[in-house]
Amino acid sequence: MRWCGATCGRRRRPSTQVVAVSRWRATRPVGGPAGQPPFLNGAVLIENPVSIAPGFSIGNVHVMAGVPAVFEAMVASVLPRITGGTPLLSQSLRIMRGEGEIAAPLAALAADFPDLSFGSYPFNRDGVFGANVVVRGTDGPRVAEATARLAGLFPG
């Protein structure tokens, strides 16, 4: 909570919403804290029907539990509040060369496409180094153009 508060420029404060939930949870068999737990100013609790794991939202930042079933329940309660934006598109290319070998040409390509994001995800399969390179952006033709140029730099 401190990290998120610092990142979002929020201070911790007592929250009547958190106090009410905490008191309710304290009556449950699993227990829970009563009193004035700290909460971030302006944060909104994320509903969690699965467990007592806390979660909260500050603007478009949503902090949730990492347990898959709990996370899924929290996402379901947050989804109605999320507004869509321009879709982020991506294409991936598997390159059977080590990252050290592809770094300079990939950096030059990325400089030619400053509106796109490039990610390199290395692997070693049976002693052979390679990397999956992902090109992301909101402009489909630009993503396709960058991926085609990437494929031309590293054929086969």
Report which residue type is found at 121: Y
Which pTM does this prediction carry? 0.56
- The answer to whether residues 53 and 67 touch, using CB atoms and an 8 Å cutoff, is yes
Cα distance between residue 147 and residue 145, in whole Å: 5
pLDDT tens-place string over residues 33-89: 444 345 667 788 888 888 877 788 888 888 888 889 999 999 999 999 888 889 999
Q: Which of 102, 119, 110, 106 is nearest to 142 (CA)?
A: 110
Domain that holds residue 39: 2-81
| 14 plus 49 within the same structural domain | yes
Which tokens hold the place of 144? 């396709």
Final residue belonging to a domain, choices 81, 105, 130:
81
| 108 plus 138 within the same structural domain | yes
- Does the pLDDT value for residue 4 go beyond 50? no
pLDDT tens-place string over residues 79-130: 998 888 899 999 999 999 999 999 999 999 999 999 999 999 999 999 999 9
| 67 plus 94 within the same structural domain | no
- The CATH number of the domain where 75 resides is what? 3.40.980.10
| 112 plus 143 within the same structural domain | yes
Report which of residues 64 and 144 the model is more confident about: 144
pLDDT value at position 56?
A: 84
Final residue belonging to a domain, choices 54, 81, 108:
81
